[in-house]
């Protein structure tokens, strides 16, 4: 009969040397007895410590029928004379019930490895088997694994030295993740608010977004969740704009008047102070950025295409009137920030320059991130020909799946990754539910060494200058 330690060693992907050093396997040694048994599904009950989601049960039921039964034994322990508690195999148990309900009673009995162990060992086995057997765990489930292992391992090993980095290293070994990932999940679990934790559990937040949220104050966390800002870019943008607005509201009225005697109220309803922050610093004769054609660093970040026309009481006596698109003789040329004039922008060709400005026309008020994006995705002919596959201008979102397209080259992949990073401030193509090795590999594709090892390096630097003109003069 196969030893459970050997089974776990195989599932955890440990080498002989790693298995020898593993405190997890050492803690399980001699802590259980086992035997095989065929058990009716009605005698099985779920584990009370089960926190994993049970997805795609119908698909699993189809697989069980095709294979003629459950291919892998369930791991259970005896609860009483009539019942067995499931330690691993909750999805297989529920999928088998579906098959029985379809009219196949022969699938009612499930092959089970019955063990005798205490509650702590039972929970440890539940975590280890799910961690090794499933690659579809969401961020919340990964975090809960780390939280429970942090408590269980020192308790089972009865080792007071099992803490800090030593403990993180052991958890990383057990879950096949990096130590930095374990540290981030621990921080998230400790500092994420109740509302944030609920959003994380509902998969509204990625691990990266949950970590960013956890680093904010309790008040800010509550504010961000209530406003349903669930991406790092959304949260960072909101906090930055809010800080500027609050700074303006704290200024003494007489000082504001000195900057601009024509201070106007905010027409978007987004300013907490009620005042237009842009007008406080702008010398233009307009009451609102909505009326102004000029693209500048002072432009209001709340002005979007979806905002209705400005109320008449807030309009300038002679407001700018936009000409309908069908009557426009030529497209408006987007002005560059004063920090970075047009004549200093370096293009690969005239086609690149034209495509860059054409793309900018699709943004109502392009900021530095939009400019960097448009510059990069039009950098070469291969990307210019597939812009619609790279970015959705209507929804203003990235199409990360484009990196798997057959037309991609090593240079075009670098240009697109540079565009994605500058636009979002993140590494949006990392799948946090993928294997850790694959996550790390994708992160490496965004490093300076990887991106700038290219003949397009001067143009990538130009994109950085467009994104951060105030820091790259």
Q: Please report, in tens digits, the pLDDT of each residue of the chain (473 residues total).
A: 345 555 555 545 555 555 555 555 555 555 556 678 888 989 998 877 776 666 678 888 888 888 888 877 888 888 887 889 888 788 889 889 999 999 998 899 998 888 887 777 777 777 777 665 556 678 888 888 888 888 877 777 776 667 777 788 878 877 777 787 888 888 898 899 999 999 998 889 988 889 999 989 988 999 999 988 888 888 888 888 777 666 555 444 444 444 445 556 777 766 656 667 666 567 676 667 777 766 665 667 666 433 333 343 333 434 434 334 333 333 333 444 445 666 689 999 999 999 999 999 998 888 888 999 999 999 999 999 999 999 988 878 888 889 988 888 888 999 999 999 999 888 888 877 677 888 888 899 999 989 998 888 999 999 999 998 888 86
CB 75 within 8 A of CB 39: no
Report the candidate in 147, 140, 144, 150 with the shortest Cα–Cα distance to residue 207: 140
Range 108-133 burial, b when 16+ CB lie within 10 A, else e:
ebbbbbbbebeeebbbbbbbbbbbbe
Whether the full predicted model's pTM is greater than 0.75, yes or no, is no
Q: Helix or strand or coil: residue 163?
A: coil
Helix, strand, coil % in the chain, rounded to nearest 5: 50, 5, 40
Instruction: List pLDDT tens digits, range 133-160.
Output: 556 678 888 888 888 888 877 777 776 6
Give the torsion through C-alpha atoms of 294, 295, 297, 301, to 10 deg.
Answer: 110
- How far apart CA 425 and CA 114 sit, in angstroms, is 50
> 48: Cβ–Cβ under 8 A, 6 or more apart, which residues?
none
pLDDT attached to residue 130: 66
- Residue 265 DSSP label: B
Q: What angle do CA 366, 464, 243 make, to 5 degrees?
A: 60
Residue 211: Cβ within 10 Å count: 20
């Amino acid at each position: 009969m196969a030893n459970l330690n050997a089974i776990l060693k195989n599932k955890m992907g440990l080498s002989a040397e790693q298995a020898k050093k593993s405190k997890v396997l050492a803690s399980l040694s001699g802590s259980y007895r086992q035997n095989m048994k065929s058990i009716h599904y009605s005698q099985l009950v779920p584990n009370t410590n089960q926190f994993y989601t049970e997805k795609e049960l119908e698909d699993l039921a189809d697989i069980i029928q095709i294979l003629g039964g459950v291919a892998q034994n369930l791991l259970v322990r005896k609860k009483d004379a009539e019942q067995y508690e499931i330690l691993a195999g909750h999805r297989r148990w529920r999928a088998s019930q579906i098959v029985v309900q379809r009219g196949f009673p022969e699938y009612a009995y499930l092959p089970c490895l019955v063990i005798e162990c205490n509650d702590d060992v039972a929970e440890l086995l539940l975590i280890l088997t799910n961690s090794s057997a499933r690659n579809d765990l969401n961020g919340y489930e990964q975090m809960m694994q780390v939280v429970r292992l942090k408590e269980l391992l020192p308790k089972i090993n009865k080792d007071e030295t099992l803490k800090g980095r030593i403990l993180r290293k052991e958890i990383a070994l057990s879950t096949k993740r990096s130590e930095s990932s374990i540290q981030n999940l621990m921080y998230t679990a400790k500092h994420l608010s109740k509302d944030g934790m609920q959003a994380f559990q509902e998969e509204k937040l990625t691990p990266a977004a949950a970590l960013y949220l956890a680093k904010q104050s309790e008040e800010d966390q509550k504010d961000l969740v209530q406003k349903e800002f669930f991406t790092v870019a959304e949260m960072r943008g909101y906090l930055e704009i809010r800080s500027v607005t609050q700074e303006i509201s704290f200024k003494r009225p007489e000082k504001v008047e000195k900057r601009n005697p024509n201070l106007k109220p905010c027409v978007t309803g987004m300013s907490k102070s009620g005042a237009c922050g842009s007008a406080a610093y702008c010398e233009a004769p307009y009451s609102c950025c909505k009326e102004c054609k000029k693209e500048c660093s002072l432009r209001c970040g709340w002005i979007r295409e979806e905002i209705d026309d400005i109320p008449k009481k807030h309009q300038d006596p002679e407001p700018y009137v936009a000409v309908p698109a069908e009557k426009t003789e030529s497209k408006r040329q987007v002005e560059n920030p004063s920090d970075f004039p047009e004549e200093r922008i370096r293009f690969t060709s005239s086609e690149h320059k034209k495509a860059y400005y054409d793309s900018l026309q699709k943004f109502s008020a392009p900021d530095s991130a939009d400019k960097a994006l448009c510059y990069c995705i039009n950098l070469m002919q291969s990307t210019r020909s597939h812009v619609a596959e790279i970015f959705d201008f209507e929804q203003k979102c990235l199409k990360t799946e484009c990196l798997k397209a057959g037309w991609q080259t090593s240079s075009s992949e670098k240009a697109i990754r540079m565009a994605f990073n500058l636009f979002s401030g993140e590494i949006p193509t990392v799948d946090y539910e993928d294997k850790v090795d694959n996550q790390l590999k994708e992160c490496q594709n965004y490093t300076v060494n990887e991106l700038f090892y290219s003949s397009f390096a001067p143009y990538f630097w130009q994109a950085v200058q467009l994104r951060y003109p105030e820091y790259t003069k």
